[in-house]
Amino acid sequence: MTVFRLFPAFILLGLSFSAGAQDSARQAVINAANAMGGVAQVEAVSSVRLVGYGHEAYQDGGSEITTEANAPEKMTNLTAYERVIDLDNNRTRVKARLFRAFIFAARSMMQGLPINQVLDGDIAYDVSADGNTRRGSEEAALTRRMDMLAIPLVAVRAALDNNSTVSNRRDQDGLTLVDVITADGAEFTLAVNNDSGLPHWVRWLEPHENLGEITQRAQYSAWLKVDGIMLPMSYNTVSDWKDTVMLRLHVDRYVINGAIDDLSAPASVRNAPAPVSNYSVTAEPVAEHVWHLIGNNGANSVLLEFDDHLALFEVPTNRAWTQAVIDEARRTVPGKPLTQAIITHHHFDHTGGLRVAIAEGLTIVTQGGNVDWFRELSERPVTKYQDALSRNPQPLKSLAVDDHLRLSDDSLTIDIYHMVSNAHMAQGLMGYIPEHKLLIQGDLFDLNWEVYFWGNTYDDNVAYRNLEVERDVPIHGRVTPTAEVHRILEQQKGNARALCSQVANAGLSMPGCPLAWD
């Protein structure tokens, strides 16, 4: 009897179709390489050095003065920018000077802070101005790897590698798109312009403390031939969060296959474990039913105890810190449910734990203008980099504050006020506990700030609400008597005057100078 083996033939047919699809997708990469100068020429590049300037989004677009959709972004300027790429060894380094294009509280970030950030394979590390090295986190390594792949020459080189997977070729708006998984597991989508044949953009996904995860797309323009290779002179990277412009980079010069430094991680870095966020929270009593939760290098929370529940004031920095704070709050006052998180303002350094707080079922108390922004943040889909909220989805529960909200029972009273007279945040809150004459605030004052560009906003808010404050309980810093707050504020304002004088005497300009309140 003859037996027809149809099933194996079907499998072979499927394999043939799959291989054909891969070949078609890989051909799109080959076409892009040919448009750039040829496959052989692209693969012959061993190093790239580019120098230029540009700017990047401050706090990834999470630090505008307001949550309103038309609020302009705050940007950090990049000068003396240099990226070096060692393609043979999968290494890269970025050097630059960073200075804020808006008023800020650190002198170094107004005058220019040097950075030296390196990636050696899967090891990220930083080099300080004095030459000391420090290993970065695994997330930092991932981010730097993807930033390197956002250079189109690197992306095409990686996609040409026979150990990479290239698939899912499709057409979209005059572009040919393919998905790439590199030999080391990095994933991105490459878009090729059907008219020029050149790479049009690279898109990728990263984890994000505030957003769960974030998609970024680096788009290219102004292509010029450099040593036989077509390269873009302009980069524009945009995220899927509010279409934030994450990076604009203008290239002044490329050097192909020039001499470069050895970017290999030193043994002290390579042998050190990648740092992970691991916090030990201390609950310092401030007054009856009030604790300062510290242990995060000056980014704190405040625990408030009411008759039948607990509330946190602020969930800053990141998810790990907020989870540690929540755990400590429950240990400090066992038996009472933690039900609320009061948030001073929307900036990403003050809402790094918002998704954790929502996942824990806490009601978010915030100024009314922040509610929709928080809801959008909490409802973002997370497909790959799971966090507490994606693993335990919860709807945002919010209590909106317009101008004033009082939370009060026999144990504690706190008045929550909308802040006024503040150019740093238009939708900020502060808290006042009348029985203890405590002011709880975030970013009205920080004893660690070097310069202060916001004039009398601290006293203006206290006076406007007719408050009698004896101690300041800050999100940044330590509990401080009011007299010391005023002394430090005057010193910080004096530092700002001196910095502006220094800038003026040099014939230069800087945001905040001359001082608006002098």
Q: How far apart are CA 98 and CA 114, in angstroms?
A: 6
- Residue 424, Cα to own-chain centre: how many angstroms? 18
Cα→Cα distances 347→210, 246, 329, 353, 462, Å = 10, 16, 23, 11, 22
Tell me the pTM: 0.93
322 token code pair: 């907020």
Model confidence pLDDT, tens digit, residues 411-435: 999 999 999 999 999 999 999 999 9
Cα→Cα distances 23→43, 196, 201, 203, 475, Å = 19, 21, 21, 21, 56
Q: Where are the domains of the chain?
A: 24-264, 282-489
Q: How far apart are CA 192 and CA 174, in angstroms?
A: 9
User: Do residues 437 and 471 touch, judged by C-beta distance below 8 A?
Assistant: yes
Compute the residue count for the chain. 518
Model confidence pLDDT, tens digit, residues 85-109: 999 999 999 999 999 999 999 988 8
Q: Token match 């788009």: residue? A: 219
User: Do residues 116 and 90 touch, judged by C-beta distance below 8 A?
Assistant: no
Q: How far apart are CA 121 and CA 14, in angstroms?
A: 36
Look at 4 and 297; give whichever has higher pLDDT: 297
The DSSP secondary structure of 428-480, one letter per residue, reads -EEEEETTTTEEEESSS--TT-S---STTHHHHHHHHTT---SEEEESBS--E
- Domain 282-489's class? alpha beta
Q: How far apart are CA 361 and CA 495, in angstroms?
A: 44
Model confidence pLDDT, tens digit, residues 181-230: 999 999 999 999 999 999 999 999 999 999 999 999 999 999 999 999 99
Contacts of 90 (CB under 8 A, 6+ apart): 120, 121, 184
User: Residue 12 pLDDT > 60, yes or no?
Assistant: no
Cis peptide before 232 (omega within 30 of 0): no
Q: How much of the chain exceeds pLDDT 70, in percent?
A: 96
- Residue 273, Cα to own-chain centre: how many angstroms? 23
Q: Residue 19: its pLDDT value, please? A: 58
Q: Residue 159: its pLDDT value, please? A: 98
User: Residue 180 pLDDT > 60, yes or no?
Assistant: yes
Residue 370 forms beta bridges with which residues? none
Q: Residue 256: name the closest of 230, 232, 227 by CA.
A: 227
Q: How far apart are CA 141 and CA 186, in angstroms?
A: 11
Q: How far apart are CA 346 and CA 426, in angstroms?
A: 10
pLDDT, mean of residues 388-411: 98
The CATH number of the structural domain formed by 24-264 is 2.50.20.10
pLDDT, mean of residues 123-140: 97
Q: Residue 452: name the closest of 506, 510, 517 by CA.
A: 517
Q: Residue 8: its pLDDT value, please? A: 38
Model confidence pLDDT, tens digit, residues 293-334: 999 888 999 999 999 999 999 999 999 999 999 999 999 999
Model confidence pLDDT, tens digit, residues 446-488: 999 999 999 999 999 999 999 999 999 999 999 999 999 999 9
Cα→Cα distances 195→32, 199, 237, Å = 11, 11, 22
3-state helix, strand, coil in the chain (%, to 5): 25, 35, 40
203 token code pair: 């898109």
Model confidence pLDDT, tens digit, residues 244-293: 999 999 999 999 999 999 999 999 999 999 999 899 999 999 999 999 99
User: Residue 14 pLDDT > 60, yes or no?
Assistant: no
Q: Residue 18: its pLDDT value, please? A: 55
Cα→Cα distances 176→147, 179, 192, 346, 361, Å = 22, 10, 5, 39, 44
Q: Residue 108: its pLDDT value, please? A: 86
Q: Residue 15: its pLDDT value, please? A: 40
